[in-house]
């Protein structure tokens, strides 16, 4: 704990500075937005921790998030892989 004390003090100092400098820094909306926008990384990290613990490969959270976002965007777009597969499948029936 003694080793982490300077880090915790720096975090507290930054939080106090933010509260004093900005009016809505500690508002419920701002805190909720912070958790909402960062929850994706927390969920990915938990899943990747299970992979690492069970002896799987070591992955970077940012890389996994970028890959998953790219795959979802490609599959969800009307001109992406899933859209093209749907269009091809419609014309093959007699």
Q: Please give the average per-residue pLDDT across 20-45, as a whole number.
A: 89
Q: Tell me, what's the pLDDT at 51?
A: 78
Asked if pLDDT for residue 78 goes beyond 80, the answer is: no
What is the pTM assigned to this prediction?
A: 0.48
Tens of pLDDT, residue by residue over 34-74, are 888 888 888 878 887 887 788 777 667 777 778 888 888 77
Sign of CA dihedral 43, 58, 62, 34: positive
Q: Please give the average per-residue pLDDT across 71-78, as a whole number.
A: 75
């Amino acid at each position: 704990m003694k080793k982490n004390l300077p880090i915790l003090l720096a975090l507290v100092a930054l939080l106090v500075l933010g509260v004093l400098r900005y009016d809505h820094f500690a508002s419920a909306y701002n805190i909720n937005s912070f958790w909402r926008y960062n929850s994706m990384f927390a969920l990915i990290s938990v899943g990747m921790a299970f992979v690492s613990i069970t002896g799987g490969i070591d992955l970077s959270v940012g890389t996994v998030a970028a890959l998953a976002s790219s795959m979802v965007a490609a599959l969800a777009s009307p001109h992406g892989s899933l859209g093209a597969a749907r269009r091809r499948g419609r014309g093959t029936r007699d």
